[in-house]
Structure 1
């Protein structure tokens, strides 16, 4: 590898590219993957759980938008925490976030096997896992813009299919005299707050897309305008989509008895609901959409994971020659992309439940510390004349976001907490070794940002259509 290779990423992504990468990472079809288990856990109140997690996401999205305007570089929560609080804390946040980024490609590989094996039972499951990983690795190596365009096409296809799903569901509801649209999916007398929060802690996985777009800051054109707008668009569009779709689904199957009357498999309920509302033809089309969703999300998640490894490698926290390398012609962190693909191959031996239970540990950790980063940044610069915005926007709003995320964090199941804390402990041990017992500073290098960090923050204007 040539030492003259510049460790910079190519700026080629416009706002629409960043938004669609975020939506692809969010995976619109994730709403169908989790509906059955969350409906059972919340006793028929999935839309209300989405509202709870949306509140947490909106507060946190504002904090992400603030931080990306100040530090428009790869690294996301890792970068913001390292710059505003402390380098060791940033390392531990980045380490926790690796659970999200590294496990999500595995989950998509497992979902590919589940969906495609159901359609083609004679084909060995490992073929689908390896095939998906090879395809997404190749597309991400070729270049981020090609990956972004592919994601745009796949997200549009998923959205259109979801609209058809909603229309057919509404038709089924209207044709059944026993069903009617009401506020029951949001509120009922048997509603339990603890179960709603528990459901929300599972559904947070669906909103990781707005966090993922911040890892593309160094590849976005005018990142201080493009990325904050994209964050808010992804969060808002995702919330509206998830709440709307689950509302009509929950109206069709208002309780567990109604759900089990349609499907023998609560965890995999959505394909059976598709069969119920549209017949075998629509179910087949639905499974095609689910496969496209897996490909799209896998493409976006591997893309974001490779950028986080790149940020940590460029800092010297991970091996710089490997993880900080950018291919001189392609402009992509090729080694990181291959590493993430290789890790995803553990899906050959991994259980889906074990993988999904770990994702939100890192997510809530990252979300909480991004909110803290906003407050820390304000404390450092509150006396600077160029620091615009109210004290409320810099302290109270992110503090509320922090508390909500901590609440959701403690609502995670025991497996997620246990494995997540073990992972965090390993990160702490590695940090002690890296710094030789904190006698050396945590490795840092100057980031290649769009320009010098700025102190001012102003709300981003809504993007033009």
Structure 2
């Protein structure tokens, strides 16, 4: 199947043909199958992401973190389903930007894409910050900024080489994390079995201080752990048969990642139930590792976790560069973003711009980054759920009970669940998020000359 894309103000046509090695600068190489896509998504999520906010969420939920993860997983599976339906309708790069633009129009699409950038641009920052913090603590003679800058340079190089190289590195890093999880769970079982304790096995899910409001507040923060399925959708133009492979990979990444998160959080709280005794919430994971396996496990955890952050930085930079590419190709951003260069057909300008923005990691705090990512992610999830309803039930006019359930009820439940998570975010999240959206509106007004000029409309037709 050929997919032809034409912009109304450009004579260039883009033929996404598998195996095409022409010099066309606007065509990605279709090299990704389901295993590569699932690997990409898991690397983005970081299987050890539980420990990024472990201390914070454990304290927020008063020792009920696994239950919070179950609520988040349920909400994310509904939204992942909606992503799959929109990929089937529009199998192109751009993720939320493409789906909302084709469904709700150019202006809303721009604002959705702009808000999505808040999520994507600052997720690499989170990874670089964590790398700097952990490596500087382990090697105090080397300042954190050295690790941050070195990581940015290496990640940028790998993304410029091409997505295939990113996946090869991801395979090693994801396997290392999965192996560590197996070791951690095994040692946790041994530790718990050796303890002369009558603690209930269900205690991490429901203790004496359990309440739905505190669990919901923790679940809102934990949505950060599930951003990998959104990243998979940005690879639609680099996947073979994207209408089948992308939705399958999205659901697989969400389910696999969610199950891993629940398991790790469960055993972490089972062996260390004294959440009130954390000296520092940011380093609570180290307390858990030390109890489970001593200093040797702490060292293994640090190495594996930093490697996971590096993998996440690679794929998050690749994802945001594809969103910038889609907006540049569409004319919503300068068209230099929509050009592919090198033999590997990489959006070089977008990759380099993301690298420059990542330098903010040298001067920003983790709390600020987390607030930015949360707002952008939940806005994107809500928009995609609404887009499914609009596209299939309103635009396509699908009728009948089956279509109502598939394209109405399930996306509506996904929308309500993400809005519920959204309302559980902190005040700071909304302050930062709304300021970012206001800046996006200023950019939109500038690009459209106060709405006197329409954004270039991208016409997509299948052949």
TM-score bin (small chain): over 0.9
Question: What aligned pairs does 1:233-272 form with structure 2 within 5 A after superposition?
Answer: 233-257=252-276, 260=277, 263-272=278-287
How far did residue 264 of structure 1 move? 2.3
Alignment equivalent of 1:158, drawn from 152, 177, 180: 177
In structure 2, the CA distance between the partners of 1:160 and 1:38, relative to structure 1 (3 Å rule), is same
Partner of 1:101: 120
Partner of 1:353: 367
In structure 2, the CA distance between the partners of 1:316 and 1:179, relative to structure 1 (3 Å rule), is farther
CA distance in 1, matches of 2:397, 2:46: 42
The SS at the match of 1:350 is coil
Alignment equivalent of 1:203, drawn from 217, 222, 229: 222
Moved over 6 A (4+): none
CA distance in 2, matches of 1:85, 1:250: 44
Verify: 1:317 aligned to 2:332, yes or no: yes
Verify: 1:275 aligned to 2:275, yes or no: no
Alignment equivalent of 2:444, drawn from 431, 434, 440: 431
How far did residue 202 of structure 1 move? 0.6
CA distance in 1, matches of 2:273, 2:215: 15
How far did residue 384 of structure 1 move? 6.1
Structure 2: tracts of 5 or more residues without a match: 1-11, 13-22
Partner of 1:221: 240
CA deviation string 1:230-263 (max 9, x = no partner): 0010000011100111111111222423xx2xx5
Partner of 1:329: 343
Verify: 1:362 aligned to 2:376, yes or no: yes
Partner of 1:289: 304
Q: CA RMSD in A?
A: 1.7
CA deviation string 1:105-132 (max 9, x = no partner): 1111110111111110001211100010
Partner of 2:454: 441
Alignment equivalent of 2:251, drawn from 232, 235, 240: 232
Partner of 1:397: 410
Length, aligned pairs only: 442
CA distance in 2, matches of 1:188, 1:390: 41
Alignment equivalent of 1:141, drawn from 160, 163, 166: 160
CA distance in 2, matches of 1:253, 1:284: 19
Partner of 1:306: 321
The SS at the match of 1:446 is strand
CA distance in 2, matches of 1:24, 1:264: 30
Alignment equivalent of 1:122, drawn from 132, 141, 151: 141
Verify: 1:42 aligned to 2:85, yes or no: no
How far did residue 5 of structure 1 move? 4.3
CA distance in 2, matches of 1:425, 1:99: 12
In structure 2, the CA distance between the partners of 1:36 and 1:13, relative to structure 1 (3 Å rule), is same
Partner of 2:426: 413
How far did residue 87 of structure 1 move? 1.4
CA deviation string 1:209-247 (max 9, x = no partner): 001100000001111111111001000001110011111
CA distance in 2, matches of 1:199, 1:182: 21
CA deviation string 1:147-204 (max 9, x = no partner): 1121122101111111111111121111112253422222234212221111011100
Whether the 8 Å CA contact 2:271–2:292 is kept in 1: the answer is: no
Whether the 8 Å CA contact 1:73–1:215 is kept in 2: the answer is: yes
Partner of 2:18: none
CA distance in 2, matches of 1:128, 1:422: 30
Further displaced range: 323-332 or 294-303: 323-332
Whether the 8 Å CA contact 1:28–1:155 is kept in 2: the answer is: yes
CA distance in 1, matches of 2:318, 2:124: 10
The SS at the match of 1:268 is helix
Partner of 2:7: none
Whether the 8 Å CA contact 2:204–2:266 is kept in 1: the answer is: yes
Structure 1: tracts of 5 or more residues without a match: 453-465
How far did residue 410 of structure 1 move? 1.2
CA distance in 1, matches of 2:421, 2:327: 27
